Structures are given as C-alpha cells and as structure tokens.
Structure 1
Amino acid sequence: MEDIRTIEILPKGTILISGGGPVGLVLALVLAHHGQRSILIEQNIEATRYPKMHLVIARTMEIFRQLGIADELRSKGVAEDEPFTVRFSSGFGSAGSLSTWDLPSVEAFRQNISLNNDGTMPGEPWARIPSNIMEPWLREKCDVNPLIDTRYGWAVEGLVEYEDTVEVHVHDRASNIRKTIRSPYVVGCDGAWSAVRKGLGVELEGGPLHRAVALTHFKSKDLERLHRQGRFWHTFFPTDPTTNNGSVGGAIIAQDGKETWTVHDYLGSDYNADDVTAEKTVARVLGGMGSAYPISIDEVTATSIFTPTVALAETWSGNHQRVFLAGDACHQTIPSGGYGMNMGLADAWDLGWKLAATVQGWGGTHLLKTYEQERRPVAALMQHWSKVHMMKLMGLSTAVKLDPVVIESMDERGIALREEIDQYIQQNDDHNQSFGVEMGHRYESSLAVLNEQVDVEKAAPQFDSRNYIPTTFPGSRVPHVALSDGSAISDGFGKGFTMVAFLQKEAVAVGDQFQVPIALASFEEAARQHSIPLKSLCLMNETHAFRIWDACLVLVRPDGFSAWRSDSLDKVHNASQVLLQATGHTSPL
C-alpha cells in the first residue's frame, strides 16, 4: 500500500533542526539570536535525566555570554568556589592522594582572568553544569522563545535533499502520525546514530576503540568516605597491573560537588557484563589498587556500558548545501579534555550565523561551504588532543612500574615509587589546560581576508596546544581584553559584523562628535550598500587593548573571529571587496 503522507511546508526561511540535545537547542537559540525562525524536533519527550557531560569549557562560556545567558546558566552549575581538583589515588582506602592537578575553581579562574589582562585569557571562566541540568534549562529557553517551535516526540525517518529544498519524513509518536516536512535547510544535531546523516548516505571515518567503559551514575551523601583524601572534581585510580593490564583502571567524577557522582570503570577486553553491577563496580573502582572501598549509595540512577569512539563524518553537508550535520552526528571523540559537547556547541555557533545570513540575503553563495571547511579541521584537532590526553593517562603504567604492595609501603621503595608517579603526572598535566587547543585554532577558509600590507609582516603565531597566543590574524579568535572601564571588549560587539577601530590622534573633534576616520566611513558605506549588518565600535585612547590587538581596524565576524585587519585609519580600502569576501559572496582577493 502506498505511503500517503500529509505535507507541511514551513514558512519561508524557517530552518528545521533534528535533535534536541544541547547542540540542537543551542543552534535554535543562535538562530533566534540572529532573528531567524526554526523548528526543532526531538524524538525524546523528556530531557535527559543523566549527568553525561558536565564540563563547559571557557570558550563555550564566551559563546553563552554573547547570547546573553552565561550568568543564568552558570547559576545552575556547581558553586563558584567548588574546586576543580583532579586527584590520582591508589585507592580511597590509602592514606592520601598520589598526586593532584590543582585546577582553579570558577572563582579562582575569574580572578586569574582579571589579574592577567594580556589577551591570553578567555573572557569567561569554565563551568561545571551536568547535562541533566543544562539540557532541561536549554529546553525552557527554547520553549518560550517566539522564534523557536519545539516539537518533542518527533523522529526523523528519512529525507531527500533537492537543489532548492529538503523533504524530511517524520513520525509524531504521540499521535502516531507520519508526515513530510519541507524546509529550505535542515540541520542534523541528532547524535552518533544520526538519522539525518544516514539519510544523506554519509559514512563515518574512524570507529570504536578497543576498551569498553562501564558508567554508574548514582547519588550519595557519604562525603566522609568520598572526601577522605579531600574534595575533588575527578579522581583517577591506577590499578593492579596483574589484574587490569597495569593501566589507569577507573575514575570517579563529582558532578555537582554534593551528592551526584559518576564512576567510570575502564573494562578489559574480556569483561563479563553480568559482573558489572553498580555497587560492586563502585566499590572496586574506588578501591583502586587495594581492596574494595564500599560507600553508602542512596540511589543508582543509571548504569550503562559504552565503547568510546573516535570518528569524523566524511562530509558535513548534502550535495546541494541544504542539509548539514553538527555535534556527534559528524564527530565523536573520547571524553578526555572535555571537548566533545563543546565542539558541537561551537559548530552551532558557527553554522547558526551562516545559515541566518544566507536566509536573510546578506550571506553569499560561498558562505555555507565554509562551515565544513572551518569546523572539520577543528574537530580533527580536538580528537587528536583527546587521544593525546588519554594516552598520557594510560601511559602511566609504561613509564612507572606499578606495584600494589610497594605503593602503600612507607620504606624507601614506596617513597620512591610514589615520587616517580607524582613526577610523571605533573609532567603530563595538560588534560584540561590545553587552552591553545580550545581557543588557538585558526579557521582557514575563503572568509579570512588577508591584507598583504599587514599579514605578511605580522604573521599568524605558531600553534601552541597549551597556550592561546593573542592575535587578530584573519581566521583567529580575537583576544579577550578588559577595557579601561572594566568592560570586556567583546561586550561591544554587534550581532552581525563589528568593525573595531582604535582611535588615537586620528580622532578629530567636530563639536561634540568625532569625525569618523575615512577607512571606517568607507566600510560603513559599503555595508549599507550591500545590506550587511555592521556595527562600528570606536575605542578612544584604549592603548592597552590596541597593543594587544595590534591593528587600527579589525573586522570581527558574528562568531568573534577576525575576518580582516588594517594598520591604517586613513587609507581608503576596497571595503566592498573585503565585506563581500568575508560574507561569502566572492572568492579571495
């Protein structure tokens, strides 16, 4: 019998988002931020109840700040004085930790940003917000936004991409009705098993790793035993080399610093799923290299076994640039470094403005092609460093001969072994301190407009995985800096493009106004001519910020990345060509 479906044709310019996890929800908010309507469909009626992911890195908090919701989101997370301490322990039954990474709390991180106003720091501290808190909150933000139509209980069953539209076959499970939705653009934010990706016929490059991980989410107020060695964010446990290949065998994560916890048990290849019970797993992992360390568990909220995967979709869009993938639908990685969800949220930040610009007419035909050109290399970079971080953890047993008896002894052998372990851990501490990976990558696409008179002499800095090196080289995230009034320079950016102009002697008073420098005036006129949203941010006598940005004029994209820069306020630039290339209308000059 022929499948007869009703057809829903979305209003002109309305974008269909498949997947209502954090990536899809943030994409809807980014589109609304740019004045663009969307419909978000999600097969699960309820938001996740499990704290699967919880680290929101500093760069992502910068994005939430630009959306105007960073402070509200932060209020949902752990207290600002909660430590981000990472411990290494031979077991909670032992006298103390083997080593620690004393990572800053939100409070301390914010103080570091204030004390180091040199462009190397992010504009926001990181945050810990478990996904079972963040996702319902994001749903609430989308549900009340007049530009977002949220539909829960809807699942994608297939799609067809045409040159000028996309037909998506959906199933409304609540009413058991199937229909087809026609939309000009569709974005698959529907996770690792993406129906949108499958509908495009796109394959994944890469695959699962060899070792499975058992997750146990639980609630416990047994802080006397859990904090026996001190408060922590993570505690990693090396294991007896005779029982688990001599590697780091597990970890416990403090999700909220109070009562919600997750234990990771890194299973061997020959594990028996029947032996993976919650209480037994928790006690064994917390015991580390020693005997089991039972605690009082109030509630086991979920258990699961998964195999970490490192994979990239071979392409991130359909043939006609009408369907796009974001988040786990196009890249998957291991948890080390906390890049996974944050990569997806950065995808949404990048794709959102480009979709809005295209639909609204000020984005050119090349603009959407740059989404994959810019974001896929970043995903590959973060996957690489996730594996580096994990291999450094797992490399402990290769660098140090672990011995469950010696490690607890108080003689010279025990002292020497513990010192050797501490030395290795301190020398390999970039797990959550690779700010160059998070903020120092550079987009290399046609949207980066090179100015030969500036960019040859002031070349892009060499990539440093550990440190973000401030630069306004085209394609780079522009540096955070606090201005003389204490405000962040990014707080003055517009929703579209922003031309940041540092005015010194060039500013000539005309009555109560300043004469607009000729270069800035030419860009303002070109923006009006081509209907490109452009805000001029004129900064008078901000010599400190000027020294860090190292350019008189910097054209900042809607996502906070540099598009073009100049050393002159007097020279008449070909403003139209710069703006048209930066918005995807033309190829490089």
Structure 2
Amino acid sequence: MSAVRARGGVVDYDVIVVGAGPVGLMLAAELRLGGVTVAVLERLEQPSGESRGLGFTARAAEIFDQRGVLDRLGAVETSPMGHFGGVPMDYTLIEGGHFGVRGVPQHRIEQALAEWAVELGVALLRGRDVVDIEPDEAGVTVVTDARDLEVFTAGYLVCCDGGRSTLRRMAGFDFPGTDATREMYLADVAGANIRPRFIGERTDAGMVMSAPLGEGLDRIIVCEDGRKPTGRSAPSWTEVADAWQRITGESLHGANARWVSAFTDTTRLVSQYRRGRVLIAGDAAHVHLPAGGQGLSLGVQDAANLGWKLAATIRGWAPEGLLDTYHSERHPVAARVLRNTLAQGTLYLTGAHMEPMREIMRELIAQPSVVRLLSGMVSGLDIRYDMPYATGADEPVWLGRRMPHRTLGRTDGDADGGQVRVPDLLRHGRGVLIDTTGDDAVAAAAARWAGRVDLVRGEWAPAPDGVEPAPKAVLLRPDGYIAWVPGAGELSQALTAWFGADDAGRPSGRHD
C-alpha cells in the first residue's frame, strides 16, 4: 500500500482519485510515475464487465503506446477508413492517422490499466462510495461508507467518476451545456445473424450500426428518428428489437441480449477543471454524443496532461502556473470535441431533410485539405498547445504539437543501443530531449535538468515519403508534446518553463 502514513483510521495520500474507469486508472498510474502516492476509490466491489466503448482514437493509442499499455492489450487492429457524421473518409492523410483502434472492449482497457497501476504502487480500493468531501487550503478530506465510515485525507482530489458524477456536485463544479434531444439504444446480442454496418446505415426511419464482437456476439446501436429522451438507463430488449425492425425491416426478436443500455446527445462541459485542491477529468468534466470513440480518448488525454503536472506540483519542482495549464490546455480541446460531436449528430441522426447538407459534406470530403482538418479533429492528432515563451510569426510549425512516433538510431552509448522509437523513450513519464545535432551546448543545457529530463542522442531514421523530416533537436514534455525545437527561443528558457529551476537551483521536494 502506498500510504505515506496512517493514524487513527485516517490514511493520507498525496492524491485521491475517485473512479476506477480508464481515466481514473490512467491518471493514478501517471501520478505514480511522477513519484507521488495515490489511492483510487471505486464504488463498485468488482468491475462491471460491461463495455460501452469498443476502442479509442489514434491519439489515445499513441498515449497508451508511450506508456507500454498498448502492448498489454495484445494484438489490436486499426481502421484507415472512418467517417464524419456518416460520410466516409480516409484518416491516413495525417502522419500516424487512422480512425482508431477498434474491437477492444472497455473492460479490457480497464483491466490492463488496473494491472499497470497496481504494479506501480497505486492503492486500488474498491467498494468505497464517497459520501462527503471537505476541501480546504491544505488538502481534502474524503468520507466513504464502505461497511463502516472511512475517512481519507489527501493533498489533492481528482473527480473521475463519470458523466453522472456525484463528486462534481459535491465539489461545486458547474456543468453548463444542452440537454438531450434524442435517445438511442445500445446492446450486445447473441444469435442476431446480422451483417456488419461499421459506420452505420441510414433509412427513412433512422440509423443503425452493427459490428461483430466475436464468439457469436454483435454490438448494435439503434437511433430511431423522433425518439425523445426518457431518462432511462436501460430499456427492454423488446423495445430495442422493435425499433431495429421499424428502421431496417429485420427482426432481431429471437436474439438474446447480453445487456442493453440507452444513451443521449446531452452535451455539457464544466467551466473550470480545477477548484482549489479539487480537479476533474474525463466524463465527469465533459459529456457528449459518442461519435468516433472520442469520449474515452478525450479522458485518457486529460489524464496524461494532468498527471505529470500535478506530480510536479506536489514534489515541489513545478514552475509557477504549471498546474493551471491543465485547464487552459484541456478545456478548449474538450469544447472542440463537443462541437464536432454535435455537428456529427446533427448531420447523421437528423431525418431526410438533412440530405442536402450530407450531399455537400460528401463534396467537401472529396478535398484532401478538408479530410486532414476533420480527421485531425476526430483523431486528436491535430491538437496544438500554446507555448507562450516562443510565440510570433517565426514560431516553428512543430512547436506545441504531439511528436509523431518516429524512430531514432542511438549514438549515445545507451545500453539499449540500436534503433529506438519515440514512445519507448517516454515510458517513464519524464521529459526527453532528443538531440541529433551533436552540439555540446545542447548536452550541457540538458545536464542541468538531468533530474527530470533524459538526454538521448542519435540520428533520425529517414522520414517516410511525403513526410516532413523531424527537427534536429526536440524537447518533449512527459505527455509527448513538443516544448522546444531549434528556432523557438532558448532551450534553457523552455526547460525552465516546463520543468522548473535547474537541478542546482530548485528547492528540495517533499519526496526527493
């Protein structure tokens, strides 16, 4: 157990994360990589085994790859072809682009993340339903009603308890947005004997999707035009089969439903991601129509962004304002996802009168520039964060973007030797400075931050045809985003902006 201390039944951690879904588990592991103590409190005694999601976007796949989680999921398949609002398009026009990893149920993702988090030393405490929180200037007290009342204290609390979050209300986060306008059904069924409709199929009565899950199971989604929201979480299988038949003319009444659920196009986003010692991430912070598998992926990216910043703040080396960049970077990304999912829902789930707009979208998507824009938006590969110390007309195009997963031939005598991929360099959640210039000044600057940044020297493997060569030198944040390249100001300025004072000047942290 990774407790700092225990006294009188009260256990202290640096961070308490509430919710053991993919976002909470990912965040907890990121925090442990950063060297702080973490407990995850989960209401359920055991994982539910249900999986609303069946995959994740290209950017989430890159983040999982950076931490070795992708390997834990076994063989995965990606799809080059996807859609925007039901209009097919090729997602591979962006380097590293694809429509996402498909066919990986959420319970498998949660299992892999839980195993990784526990190996790192996260205390995963199930059967703990949080009934009260008391934040103050020094930390947060958390009360659960597991068996007997338990009291936990932590320096920070992060709410990762999903779209129906109770912690969001307890902590005082507002949740503005729009209410549901339609209700849709989701089910896993056996014995359906239906053909796949991977990106969906429209009729005059609505839209259906279907995809084989293996072992005789199919995942179906049913969106009937005019179906108003009822507030239910689980309709009957008969209702779902009736709606499927009205849309397609096919009967699924003889199939066996393993589980049935309902969802809506409710669209909401908290106004702030932090209230003092309490932060929020994942579906607790944003809910939207699940178009393109963006929900889980958006939350995983929240976790990757927040984890190293919160750990740095606790350990005492974070530069001033670093934790505030969690909100300033992630809130606009979520707002953009909400816009694109609303647009896709309007385009795809509205009746026949939307057909002229769909036809125009087909014409637009024939243009490569439009495909790059929309695929970058849905995949998350076009995210660019502000680097305030290096702005202006001459700001290099790479700065603030994610580093594509290129290969480097190492020349620095590292024990691994040979070829190494960029995600392998990010395994430990530290900053990485990749230098192919051989300039001693780069190495000298990196040496002053050796406690938080790894220097890797080598030569880039040739870039694929039509792809821009990688920068000669590049500073990567722990989440894989580019914080400096030559021409973006002084390297020492970028190191200070993201990693604090150099080793000689920084204060001794709480756990150093």
TM-score by length of 1: 0.72
Say which of 448, 468, 478 aligns to 1:558: 478
Identity of aligned residues (%): 23
Which range moves more in the overlay, 322-331 or 127-136?
Answer: 127-136
Deviation at 1:344, TM superposition (A): 0.5
Deviation at 1:396, TM superposition (A): 6.1
Q: Show structure 1 runs of 5+ residues with no match.
A: 89-98, 105-111, 241-247, 402-419, 460-470, 508-516
Q: Does 1:193 align with 2:126?
A: no
Which range moves more in the overlay, 206-215 or 145-154?
Answer: 206-215
Equivalent residue pairs, number: 480
For 1:511-526, list aligned pairs within 5 A.
517-526=439-448
Structure 1 distance, partners of 2:188, 2:182, is 23
Match of 1:393 in 2: 348
SS at match of 2:96: coil
Aligned 8 A contact 1:210 1:307 in 2: yes
Structure 1 residues 456, 479: CA separation in 2 closer, same or farther (over 3 Å shift)?
A: farther
Say which of 434, 438, 442 aligns to 2:375: 434
Structure 2 distance, partners of 1:159, 1:292, is 51
Deviation at 1:347, TM superposition (A): 0.5
Say which of 162, 174, 189 aligns to 2:136: 162
| Counterpart code for 1:304 | S
For 1:292-441, list aligned pairs within 5 A.
292-294=250-252, 296-297=254-255, 299-318=256-275, 320=276, 322-394=277-349, 397-400=352-355, 434-437=375-378, 438-441=380-383
Match of 2:393 in 1: 456
Deviation at 1:81, TM superposition (A): 8.5
Deviation at 1:425, TM superposition (A): 5.6
Deviation at 1:349, TM superposition (A): 0.7
For 1:139-178, list aligned pairs within 5 A.
139-142=114-117, 144-172=118-146, 175=147, 177-178=148-149
Higher Cα Rg, which structure: 1
Structure 1 residues 146, 134: CA separation in 2 closer, same or farther (over 3 Å shift)?
A: closer
Structure 1 residues 157, 502: CA separation in 2 closer, same or farther (over 3 Å shift)?
A: same
Q: Does 1:120 align with 2:95?
A: yes
Aligned 8 A contact 2:224 2:243 in 1: no
Structure 2 distance, partners of 1:379, 1:361, is 29
SS at match of 1:302: strand
Q: Does 1:540 align with 2:459?
A: yes
Q: Show structure 2 runs of 5+ residues with no match.
A: 1-6, 410-417, 503-512
SS at match of 1:288: helix
Structure 1 residues 480, 145: CA separation in 2 closer, same or farther (over 3 Å shift)?
A: closer
Say which of 196, 200, 214 aligns to 2:185: 214
Structure 2 distance, partners of 1:357, 1:272, is 45
Match of 1:49 in 2: 49
Structure 1 residues 123, 392: CA separation in 2 closer, same or farther (over 3 Å shift)?
A: closer
Deviation at 1:542, TM superposition (A): 4.8
SS at match of 1:30: helix
Deviation digits for residues 443-464 of structure 1 (CA, Å, limit 9, x no counterpart): 22xxx25446xx63245xxxxx
Deviation at 1:421, TM superposition (A): 8.2
Match of 1:25 in 2: 25
Q: Does 1:268 align with 2:239?
A: no
Q: Which has the higher contact order (CA 8 A, sep 6+)?
A: 2
Structure 1 residues 44, 184: CA separation in 2 closer, same or farther (over 3 Å shift)?
A: same
Aligned 8 A contact 1:449 1:581 in 2: no
SS at match of 2:403: coil
Q: Does 1:583 align with 2:499?
A: yes
| Counterpart code for 1:34 | G
Structure 2 distance, partners of 1:6, 1:565, is 52
Structure 1 residues 263, 544: CA separation in 2 closer, same or farther (over 3 Å shift)?
A: closer
Structure 2 distance, partners of 1:280, 1:166, is 45
SS at match of 2:455: strand
Match of 2:405 in 1: 480
Deviation at 1:566, TM superposition (A): 1.3
Structure 1 distance, partners of 2:36, 2:243, is 51
Q: Does 1:288 align with 2:247?
A: yes
Deviation digits for residues 56-102 of structure 1 (CA, Å, limit 9, x no counterpart): 11111111111112122144x6xx499977899xxxxxxxxxx9848
SS at match of 1:260: strand
Structure 1 residues 325, 209: CA separation in 2 closer, same or farther (over 3 Å shift)?
A: same
The structure richer in strand per residue is: 2
| Counterpart code for 2:383 | H
SS at match of 1:192: coil
TM-score by length of 2: 0.82
| Counterpart code for 1:236 | E
Deviation at 1:42, TM superposition (A): 0.5
SS at match of 2:290: coil
Deviation at 1:428, TM superposition (A): 5.9
Structure 1 residues 206, 253: CA separation in 2 closer, same or farther (over 3 Å shift)?
A: farther
Match of 1:417 in 2: none
Deviation at 1:332, TM superposition (A): 0.9
Deviation at 1:193, TM superposition (A): 2.6
Aligned 8 A contact 1:496 1:534 in 2: yes
Deviation at 1:330, TM superposition (A): 0.9
Deviation at 1:151, TM superposition (A): 0.7
Match of 2:10 in 1: 8
Aligned 8 A contact 2:184 2:227 in 1: no
